[in-house]
Structure 1
Amino acid sequence: MTTATRVYVARLAGLAVFDPNGDQVGRVRDAVARIRDGGLPPRVVGLVAEMPLRRRIFLPIGRVTSVDAESVVLSTGTLNLRRFEKRPGELLILEDLLDRKVTITGTGVAATVVDVAMETTGRLGDWVLSRVAVREYTGRLSRRGHLYQLDWAEVGGLVGEAESQGTASLLAVFDNMRPADLANVLQDLSEERRVEVATALDDERLADVLEELPEHDQVEIIGALSPERAADVLEEMDPDDAADLLAELPKPDQETLLDLMEPDESAPVRALLDYVPGTAGSIMNSEPVVLTPDATVAEALARVREPQLSPALAAAVYVARAPMATPTGRYLGVVHFQRLLREPPAAMLGGIVDNGIDPLGTGTRLPEITRRMATYNLVAMPVVDDDRLVGAVTVDDVLDQLLPRDWRDRDQQVSRD
């Protein structure tokens, strides 16, 4: 395997990290460099990799045997699993330098950092930050400035307190991350940077990320938005997640945001807030897939293919009399996804509906919900009120309640050796 002699760090982000046996141990999230005196370019000391269960660890650069466009390979499978914590005098390349406002030495031209290259000195495991890609700052949205690739010494303002730092280049690095992974990255940023990056996301992307963050981070970010934009983001969230977030806010703030939301978007959220905490009504999703009994298998399969549905919600189609919006007409039963795959596309749902398992009531408590889902090996169950379908409880809703309240918080950081 060929090892590159110069690598731009933004291109490393997301690359798989393999041990000598070819087993993947994580993905690169950043690189760490130590600042040196005398204007010397910082020396790269390691990479930050994200492991399963969202743990970020430090990989010493000396253990990296090869780097290419597709992967990073280590010389050993033995890793220090202590959570990474940046030390004084160190830089996280992507977090600290991307989008940083700098000046081009000699000309005084203002620019922003779009990438930083690390380059091997020729000695095994010895890498330094050699080149900086910067874009001239024009201050005009309609015109992009010239892109320069300069030596580290030709760029001023790379070290020390940043005068200002944008988000465009960092967001480009995060673009292909799953919402849960991006939420994990945001938790490792400083409070100011976290809010800055989160609020730069578009409404739909921010809504997806908020659903993966702990409550205190959700409140911090939603509070940094204007009320109008906060309402727009809440509209993009699943009603149950929006209700959980609003429940963390003071009552006057809840009402302000609910009033700013579109009535058809706020109505299911208001309904969820009215249920007793810990009941099926309070944790259910009020927008499951609902069809009438004369709908066909082909129609049902088309609905469960919709990309915005979570796997748990897409696992079943609920059959009810019109109207189909919750609360529906009389609930008739459920058709599970596997059954849909076994039936002819033209078959009607009314002929294959399963009504052998009693639905949950809105007041069913969490222990009973858990017991029944485990008994019947289900990933979702319907919730009814007076024989009308009002929502569905999914396994992720149940897990969210069973896990400790702060389960989305990162483990307490511990310094590396």
Structure 2
Amino acid sequence: MSATRVFVARLNGAAVFDPAGDRVGRVRDALVVYRKTEPPRVVGLIVEVPGKRRVFLSIGRVTSIAAGQVIATGEINLRRFEQRGGEVRVMAELIGRKVVLRNGSGEATIEDVAIEEEAPGEWSVGQLFLRRPRTSGPFGKGPSVFATWSEVREKQSDGEAQSAEQLIASYSELLPADLANTLLDLPEERRLEVAEELPDNRLADALEEMPENEQVSILAHLDDTRAADVLDQMQPDDAADLIAQLSDERGEALLRLMQPEEADNVRFLLSYDPETAGGLMTTEPIILSADATVAEALALIRRHELAPALGAAVCVTLPPYEPPTGRFLGMVHFQRMLRYPPMERLGTLLDQSLEPVKAETSAAEVSRILASYNLVSVPVVDDNHRLVGVVTIDDVLDYLLPDDWRSSSGDEVKPYGDTSTAAITLKPRPGRRTRRASR
């Protein structure tokens, strides 16, 4: 049974199924067109299909919206979504707008929009969930109120900036890759507005998942202090990649504004040739002494902010324990730690079969080693056998995949669980961090 009223912000991310029950994508927005006297009419949904492609699903093909899922009939047109004149995206453009209530009670901000089914295959905007301005105090929210479309009028004139606060709140649960893709789908002016309002750590997460030209575009609109704060929150290797795309003058200015420790890590990475292990590695693996226990190591890899590839193993070295460390002793994989009691010393569990690579080892050779031995990371050492970082599988994939891999997709939509054969050509990306070697 189809729902008769659905709030779009809650619909965001809902799975879309075909009549056979196969999942073909996820809802990312709803598309409406304004009418003179009646509420805006819903013309369709914007659906993200495998490959991060956004496509249009006509509302007439939607047979059911219920329990956080959408069921569609027929085949989905895989042509990339292009917004037409007069069309408005609810999530990207309507939520966050200011309106004035016609009863004279003041203004409010749209926090959510309900769409309602008027007849089979015909939906329109119903209620608006509004938030009034807070009346006193620096914290908290103002009272909420429901209103119909006819009970409000939009406040801002054409071209006036919209509030990004509610849009950011609706994206709060998105994974970094989804957040990046969602930002890239916004109009440029709106994208920059949202980027300016995002917390430093969330913007850093999103930038790490964007193509380099989009990273540079967003960073160009941030003042140097804010840009440096965001770079501080990025993984050192990602920050190095981004700084390498900037002019030498701005790159150096941002490095001076960054936290000294973070800036040192980035400068260290920029000193390596981009086509080597040193150019691919991250300088923030988990490093412990041989006397550390399994319990201590497991506590560190449990940290929720740690990337899975970095949490797959810990590095054991002599002091000091910051790259470049004392002599590298070996790695201990988390699965091996799980087989031993909590107080077991890591020095007794070292993987003797895994040899580190030199910082000058070619990126191609590092890729071969990871693939040949089914590894998710490999340690990198200097000429004195000191640990300087680790190369993880995601670093290698980012190096091998073509520049436009985030936006490319196949011609056929398959269910998310489909594991049928697909082909993709991998080749090194020439010019990655092209300015690094000259710094």
TM (norm. structure 2) is: 0.88
* CA deviation after TM superposition for structure 1 residue 69, in Å: 3.8
Are positions 1:127 and 2:123 aligned together?
yes
Q: Is the 8 A contact 1:112 1:136 kept in 2?
A: yes
Name 1:401's counterpart in structure 2.
399
Name 1:324's counterpart in structure 2.
321
Name 1:384's counterpart in structure 2.
381
* CA deviation after TM superposition for structure 1 residue 142, in Å: 4.7
Name 1:12's counterpart in structure 2.
11
* CA deviation after TM superposition for structure 1 residue 354, in Å: 1.6
* CA deviation after TM superposition for structure 1 residue 10, in Å: 1.4
Q: Distance in 2 between matches of 1:296 and 1:212?
A: 35
Name 1:346's counterpart in structure 2.
343
Output the amino acid matched with 1:90: E
Q: Distance in 2 between matches of 1:147 and 1:344?
A: 54
Output the amino acid matched with 1:240: D
Q: Distance in 1 between matches of 2:151 and 2:341?
A: 68
- 4+ long deviations beyond 6 Å: none
Output one character per residue of 1:354-411: Cα deviation in whole Å (capped at 9) or x when no partner: 2333211111111111111122111110000121000000111011111112333467
Structure 2 counterparts to residues 15-26 of structure 1, below 5 A: 15-26=14-25
* CA deviation after TM superposition for structure 1 residue 35, in Å: 2.5
Output the amino acid matched with 2:13: G
Choose which of 192, 208, 214 in structure 2 pairs with 1:211: 208
Name 1:312's counterpart in structure 2.
309
Name 2:60's counterpart in structure 1.
62
Choose which of 132, 135, 145 in structure 2 pairs with 1:148: 145
Partner of 2:295, secondary structure, is helix
Output the amino acid matched with 1:7: V
Name 1:32's counterpart in structure 2.
31
Q: Distance in 2 between matches of 1:372 and 1:32?
A: 48
Choose which of 182, 185, 190 in structure 1 pairs with 2:182: 185
* CA deviation after TM superposition for structure 1 residue 158, in Å: 7.7
Q: Distance in 2 between matches of 1:221 and 1:28?
A: 25
Output the amino acid matched with 1:133: F
* CA deviation after TM superposition for structure 1 residue 268, in Å: 0.8
Structure 2 counterparts to residues 42-191 of structure 1, below 5 A: 42-76=40-74, 78-105=75-102, 107=104, 109-121=106-118, 123-137=119-133, 141-142=138-139, 144-157=141-154, 161-191=158-188
Name 2:250's counterpart in structure 1.
253
Q: Count residues in correspondence.
A: 409
Q: Distance in 2 between matches of 1:162 and 1:155?
A: 19
Partner of 1:11, secondary structure, is helix
Output the amino acid matched with 1:5: T
Partner of 1:53, secondary structure, is coil
Output the amino acid matched with 1:232: D
Q: Distance in 1 between matches of 2:130 and 2:373?
A: 58
Q: Distance in 2 between matches of 1:142 and 1:271?
A: 42
RMSD: 2.2
Q: Distance in 2 between matches of 1:206 and 1:361?
A: 33
Output the amino acid matched with 2:8: V
Output the amino acid matched with 2:371: A
Greater CA deviation, 152-161 or 23-32?
152-161
Cα pair distance change 1:91/1:408, threshold 3 Å: same
Q: Distance in 2 between matches of 1:372 and 1:143?
A: 54
Are positions 1:196 and 2:196 aligned together?
no
Output one character per residue of 1:97-118: Cα deviation in whole Å (capped at 9) or x when no partner: 1111222235283332222221
Output one character per residue of 1:12-45: Cα deviation in whole Å (capped at 9) or x when no partner: 1122222223322222111111233x32222111
* CA deviation after TM superposition for structure 1 residue 138, in Å: 6.1
Output the amino acid matched with 2:129: A
* CA deviation after TM superposition for structure 1 residue 129, in Å: 1.3
Output one character per residue of 1:111-154: Cα deviation in whole Å (capped at 9) or x when no partner: 32222221111x21011112223333469755744433222122
Cα pair distance change 1:159/1:196, threshold 3 Å: closer
Q: Distance in 2 between matches of 1:232 and 1:188?
A: 25
Q: Distance in 1 between matches of 2:105 and 2:158?
A: 18
Output the amino acid matched with 1:9: V
* CA deviation after TM superposition for structure 1 residue 75, in Å: 3.1
Greater CA deviation, 98-107 or 189-198?
98-107
Q: Distance in 2 between matches of 1:143 and 1:176?
A: 20
Choose which of 334, 339, 361 in structure 2 pairs with 1:337: 334
Cα pair distance change 1:203/1:4, threshold 3 Å: same
Are positions 1:271 and 2:302 aligned together?
no
Q: Is the 8 A contact 2:318 2:329 kept in 1?
A: yes
Stretches of structure 2 that go unaligned for 5 or more consecutive residues are 411-439
* CA deviation after TM superposition for structure 1 residue 160, in Å: 7.4
Stretches of structure 1 that go unaligned for 5 or more consecutive residues are 413-417
Output the amino acid matched with 1:400: D
TM (norm. structure 1) is: 0.92
Output the amino acid matched with 2:127: R
Q: Distance in 2 between matches of 1:70 and 1:405?
A: 34
